[in-house]
Structure 1
């Protein structure tokens, strides 16, 4: 039995959502074992309370998150738990803000350790500062780091233990870590030098042996793979009891069931905490209750110890973070699978600086929304946490079509193992119309550049960013760009030049990327091919995007 992902909608985002009790089940009278699993993931270095989007709430933009408030929520959940409680971190914590980049993740370390997670699984962005720095940061965490599929390419050995079994209050739980399978092939090569995340062979056999050897009451996968792939892992490895998913920043208001495996994902940016109560009987899981807990400023005060650690970490960067760079008159947000207002103005700046026909953005799904207000340096770094030199070159119309077809396959493939990223092509100067449900290589309906349908043999100048370790002819994953060369400015410099010329911006969605068989606004990649089809697709944010 499978149920579709349910995005947070309206006031459901404000009121915790409980699973309905099974007939005849009385939780207070339960005599067997019970355990509470608390889960957060993809905080992307958002250490402080920030604006967040709650569709249907009034107002829709509310102040949420921050490590100090998250700590308060965690402690409340632990105090109210009638059995043992475990806190799991699904990764992507050390990258996503200016201070994180400027300190190579250092600002996150002490506040994160103060949250006291029991297990940490590295996300795809943890190696953003290179493999040596990544390994040093992981070694300084005060909890076990586990990952089944993080290997050293030279020795073939795992960088971390694939699992850890913890026993507390008479309940034994085995945790298996899995990170983004495509991270080492999709990220800039310099970030993953000597490391490989693609090896998933033997997972089911491993879990079977783990069950036989450790005899745990519960086997939990903490996956930084995204909802769609987490669901596929559940189908292929039904020996898991629970999958705590991350990476695609989805907000599940109730568990998704694949057979008997429960799958949940608690959003991103420390804006939510997932709380899953599992009741264990003689034959395994007897019942479960899940709550998606919004970390609202009005509901959770700041833990003073964690607040002090955050303040200390960010103190050297306060002036730079708060420096005004522009004013936006419209909401800047990046939660849509397709076009976003944030990428609309970013790609306009890239195209303008490079004098190109098409300006591309690598997309991403961070950072938090920026309401109409003064726009700061910190906001820019939240959207683009890794600055890089710009690059330009040209491709033919035929090559552009092939590139776009491949990009759409990464987002809408019917095979979850082929999915990557979670967002469609984002560009300025180009309008794309397609069918998401069509077969690979046959999705494009129309591609227009400067208002005209592209021609196969015509040359089109494109621009994007340099990614460390890539060949010079690769621009935004397009290999074979002709006459490719670097420009003497970075993406951030291009944006600041653009904002000096246009200090008041008001980007609005204009239909640059349009799917004929999807809702006009789509916040969940998983919903496209979920049981029930497009009718089941959420039309409100599921939190979003890999990173």
Structure 2
């Protein structure tokens, strides 16, 4: 890592056998993402302008891309080739991962357009090897950033309240960490304790104590290494304290974003850094908006929405990237600093963490094995069997949530079963389903809750949920997935105006009637009023059932020994493809197949 000083007042490898699920016909991701190209730009000083710099010209000409899987070395245009050796400037390397969700070991991963599309990837021990390899191949200072959501997402993480993650994560050698929305999953006291035990600075501009109004962490940290000074500002999920169960965020608030641009301006003036980085856990669409509204940032390293940027996105002259989730990828962004200051160019790689590419680091492997050892037996318990792939990679319907909501609806004997699910989950292969799989699907258990609502209330609820996913105002986004339900068929227009998206709504195969009552079921969220079911406020005659969602899934397996869920068209958008990998691809407008976040194949190694 080299010597450094820190200024802070901080408190592809195929799966065994021949299993290769064919999703290509449905997905239609194609070769239009083609060339891997590296971008450079003209010097950008601290005073931002709207003039056509060389970076903006190159972006407009389509030369900002590093595509997935279809490039060759001959297609790569380097900064040296474009501007010559003298124009390249000092290189600064930013390594970044995010949203590992306690996936400490290699796991199945979904690679649309690759062959096969499901491959084993990730694992902290291989991620460590990849990090060290990239560090050895740096011409200048190298920094490692973590975008959060690491301590929740698996059975062992929940059973140990995040303890299994701490040792392996620390061993990766982080420089800066920003908390994600799931870090407080085990309550505010445990959250603060865990953050204090990390060996690196934890920074966050918008994590406040509600009583005192003070920040829980320093908003930024400045690091100087090999003569280069960078300032890093942390920003977490703005809506987390309102969206999550109140018990998780008791006494904490993530909504206060006022004054951020003035803060960054003052930081630049005070610290005079060579580079200002926003390390965000806000979702890619909001990260892009931050880049548009605060051009004083040079780079935004995004997390939360589990998007994979095949190539860097330019918002004016701010470079925005996001490296997927689960430790399946490591992003490397090299920026070049000009002699007079400012960024003159950048190069980007999305690096897949593959078993045949990286050996496991022995030290981290031992830490992972030791952390998981007490839980191995429980993880391996078989609870059922699936004969089809359980997938959660979709903004709309997916087979994993179809299974979950079917089980919830059956257990509660309701007309509609809802899922409180989260953005993505690692695929579960057609085989026996284990306790570990169950907790990867739903990392937090909770009792079921049921009640009734009218047809009019159901429509209004769904309109609000769709606005949270497809709002034209990025600041109103809250979550990266559409409604997921059993017993309900929803047809809508994603790009319609707020309150006018629902085109057709059926329950039990019949059109919904405004005055008719429909029973709904979902998960209890600790601290919420009794009448709130899956974010629907005002549910009638609501009651908590003496069964948890995990018990409902196990009971479902008992009555359905072998499940085989398929996409049924439960939630369909008339103005989108039948399968949508990327929320940002929709919100950015244009052809979703050409979007930087629509993958096609395996990134080059």
TM-score (ref. length: structure 2): 0.86
Q: Which residue of 2 aligns with 1:252?
A: 309
Aligned-pair CA distance for 1:539: 9.0
- Aligned residues of 2:328 and 2:353 also touching (Cα < 8 A): yes
TM-fit CA distance, 1:375: 1.0
Partner residue in 2 for 1:210 = 267
Residue 188 of structure 2 corresponds to residue 131 of structure 1: yes
SS at 1:402's partner residue? helix
Matched with 1:519 is 577
Conserved? CA contact 2:88–2:345, under 8 Å: no
Aligned to 1:288: 346
- Establish whether residue 121 from structure 1 lines up as the match of residue 178 from structure 2: yes
Unpaired stretches in structure 2, ≥5 consecutive residues: 1-55
Distance in 2 between residues matched to 1:17 and 1:306, nearest whole Å = 36
CA deviation digits over 1:133-158, x for unaligned, max 9? Answer: 00000000000000000000000010
Partner of residue 11, structure 1: 69
Give the drift of 1:503: 1.4
Compared CA separation, residues 432 and 458, structure 1 to 2 (3 A): same
Matched positions, count: 541
**Alpha-carbon distance in 1 for matches of 2:450, 2:74:** 48
Alignment of 1:395 onto 2:453: yes
- Give the conservation status (yes or no) of the 8 Å contact 2:378–2:435: yes
The 1:316–1:9 alpha-carbon spacing in structure 2 relative to 1, beyond 3 Å, is: farther
Quick one: structure 1 residues 310 and 522, their matched pair in 2 at CA, closer, same or farther if it must change by over 3 Å?
Answer: same
1:144 matched to which residue of 2?
201
**Pairwise mapping of residues 60-75 of structure 1 onto structure 2 (< 5 A)?**
60-75=117-132
Give 1:523 deviation, angstroms: 1.0
Is 1:311 paired with 2:372?
no
Question: Would the alpha carbon gap of residues 15 and 334 (structure 1) be closer, same or farther in structure 2, given more than 3 Å must change?
Answer: farther
For the 8 Å contact 2:313–2:596, the answer to whether it is kept is no
Residues in 2 aligned to 1:521 and 1:488: alpha-carbon distance in whole angstroms = 36
- 1:459-512 residue CA offsets vs partner (Å, 9 max, x unmatched): 000000000100000000000000000001000000100001111111110100
- What SS does the aligned partner of 1:500 have? helix
For residues 259 and 31 of structure 1, the distance between their equivalents in structure 2, rounded to whole angstroms, comes to 20
Is the contact made by 1:337 and 1:424 (CA closer than 8 Å) also made in structure 2?
yes
Matches within 5 A, 1:54-453: 54-281=111-338, 282-453=340-511
Matched position secondary structure for 1:115: coil
Contact persistence 1:88–1:118 (CA under 8 A) = yes
Contact kept? 1:350, 1:463, Cα under 8 Å: yes
Q: Deviations over 1:140-179 (max 9, x none)?
A: 0000000000000000010000000000011000000000
Distance 1:405 1:153, change over 3 A: same
1:7·1:250 contact (CA, 8 Å) conserved in 2? Answer: no
* Deviation string, structure 1 residues 171-219 (Cα, Å, up to 9, x no partner): 0000000000000000000000000000000011000000000000000
Question: 1:434-483: CA deviations, max 9, x gaps?
Answer: 00111000000001000000000000000000001000000000000000
SS of equivalent to 1:521: coil
1:486 paired with 2:544, answer yes
Q: How far did residue 33 of structure 1 move? A: 2.0
Change over 3 Å in CA distance of 1:538–1:392 after alignment to 2: farther
Output the CA distance in 1 between the equivalents of 2:422 and 2:75.
Answer: 31
CA contact under 8 A between 2:584 and 2:597: conserved in structure 1? no
Q: Structure 2 vs 1, CA of residues 164 and 15 (structure 1 numbering), >3 Å: closer, same or farther? A: farther
Superposition RMSD in Å: 2.1
| Cα contact 1:18–1:254 (8 A) shared by 2 | no
Q: In 2, Cα distance between the equivalents of 1:98 and 1:483?
A: 33
- Report the Cα offset of residue 129 of structure 1: 0.2
Tell me, in whole angstroms, the C-alpha distance in 1 between the residues paired with 2:84 and 2:67: 27
Cα distance between partner residues in 2 of 1:472 and 1:92: 28
TM normalised by structure 1 equals 0.95
